[in-house]
A and B are shown apart, each in its own frame.
Chain A
Amino acid sequence: MTDVLAVADHRRGDLRDVSYEIITAGRELADETGGDLHLAVISGTVDDFADKLNREGVDAIHTVDHGEEFNHDVYAQAVTQLYDELAPQFIVTPNSVNGLDYAPAVANELDLPIVTDTVDLEADGETLIATREMYGGKVETTTQLEGDAVVTIRGAEWPAAEGTGDAAIEAFDADIDEDAIGSTVTGFEEVGGGDVDISEAELLVSVGRGIEEEENLEMIRDLADALDATLSSSRPIVDNGWLPKNRQVGQSGKVVTPDVYIAIGISGAVQHVAGMKGSDTIVAINTDPNAPIMDIADYAIVDDLFDVVPELIDEFQ
């Protein structure tokens, strides 16, 4: 009971980056428990996926050939059965939207504790020590538990596994109960097209909840105009209907890589940062000197945006 079972993520024919990261996380854990790293890849072109996932550190890859796309019931059943067969100490899945759609079900079915969105993992015999954030990234915590567990890992926290492995690739004959499948995926849709493509912009003026009221957005528009920049935002601004979805930067929005990204009243939650960390130069304007955005900012103004932005507009008008 020292092995680790990690589960890959894929969508519409492509493995997602986190599938390679989970190999690294799983390998590190398996080194600490002294066990093997098993990888599962479920649905889609599993043999092709297995070849791609056969990187350094993987001991075995179990393919479950069932359906094209993610279905949480298929995943939950397959992973549960793999656990029964392999008896690993830890099941590790991505903390992706799909990971969160089956990992909690697996944990509950197997009567195991679950720790989600971990950014660091350590194992010491029976003990798992997981590092995760609370209060939107304001604090970090370590959580300890004994025995087997389901763990989900945050994307982009572990490096992607590289090299070529010599894992044994085996088809796992999961016994999928079709009657237990109560949901059907009927399609996919891309959202957020429209007038501008913020991912093309060189200069982004990006606004967050610090702006408080829709009326105040006018000031940010003026700034974007004065700078001849493109306007983007964090999620709450779009949720409020103040800007269209195609302006949202982040995990569920757009990934942007401008020369300069000016984050105004944006805290820098992980889902936001996922969309803008590749910006060349990041400038934060925020009253909170400890906001997570400061960790990735190159330049910062710790001040009230309502004081700073008008000055900046003045300078460029």
Chain B
Amino acid sequence: MKILVTVKEVATVEDEFEIEGTEIAGQYLGADLNEWDDYAIEEAVQLQEDGIADEVVAVTIGPEDCEQTIRQALAKGADRAVRVWDDALEDVDLLDVNAKTEILSAVIEAEEPDLVLSGVQAGDDSFGATGVSVAEEIGFQWGAVVNHLEHDLEDGVASVRRELEGGVEELTDIELPAVLTIQTGINEPRYASLRGIRQAQRKELNVQTLDDIGVDESTIETELELTEMYEPESESDATVWEGSADETAGELGELLRDKGVAQ
């Protein structure tokens, strides 16, 4: 079977930063593979190693800059990658769920995978909605927040655990084809080996425009407009202990004794 993994390069922010308009100023931003997608890639690669999947394809929406990130998926074992980008996306502040759904669905319909794995959410915009929205769009079954997947996929059914709140897991059988959104902790993502990194350079990375995948510019017009970005007003009324580590530890020690929780 064929597995498609959606991968996103997310922006990371330094501890101290400045906001310009509705963006964090570029010099405070870094880039990384989305934490949740890392687990999704690992799950797909393990399915391949277990002989369940014959092909793992990674798909991303992003400019050329993000190729280093999608190459991480290739270095970890994905067979090839598709990157969708278009000038029309260049000036969009916030690509909303609908726009992502249109683009990813078009790729999935062309690739015809049996299973799509995506991350529960992206660490930057944290919508947490794209996987399920895509499933609905393409008529696949789905499961959100999956933290365990049985690898036999017997009779075209994915037996999963969905991680609910409060330490409760739901056991669910989902018919394939399906989209699963993968929760951290489902596996142990590997580091890319040097060999993997070398091989990744030679793997196919297919760049597509909206036109190429048959998506009309007008359908991805984002309906959400980011109008403000600010640092949340600190509600902190914490007493901040100042001084050397020795002094601050002393303050904390005193507090613990005062509260009678430590001697």
Contacts and interface: CB of A to CB of B under 8 A. Distances in A.
B1 interface: no
A116 B167 contact: no
B98 A113 contact: yes
Contacts of A284: 238
A294 B237 CA distance: 8
Interface in B154-206: 159, 161-175, 178, 184-185, 188
Interface string B219-263: 000011111111110111011110001101111110110011111
Contact of A107 (B97, B168, B172, B238): B97
Contacts of B169: 188-191
A307 interface: yes
A257 B162 CA distance: 26
A197 to B, nearest CB: 12
B167 A316 contact: no
B136 A113 contact: no
A102 B162 CA distance: 14
A241 to B, nearest CB: 7
A4 interface: no
**What interface size band does chain B fall in?**
35 or more
A76 interface: yes
A134 B126 contact: yes
B5 to A, nearest CB: 18
Contacts of A116: 97, 126-129
A108 B133 contact: yes
B177 to A, nearest CB: 10
A164 interface: no
B227 A129 contact: yes
Contacts of B12: 135
A116 to B, nearest CB: 5
A245 B131 CA distance: 26
Interface stretch (B50-58, B77-85, B140-148, B209-217): B140-148
Given A260-B256, A298-B239, A241 B188 contact: yes
Interface of A: 11, 16, 72, 76, 95-98, 100-105, 107-109, 113-117, 129, 133-146, 182-192, 202-203, 227-229, 235-236, 238-241, 245, 251-255, 258-260, 262, 281, 283-284, 287-292, 294-295, 297-304, 307-312, 314-316
Interface of B: 11-13, 15-17, 19, 22, 24, 94, 96-98, 101, 123-133, 135-137, 141-145, 159, 161-175, 178, 184-185, 188, 223-232, 234-236, 238-241, 245-246, 248-253, 255-256, 259-263
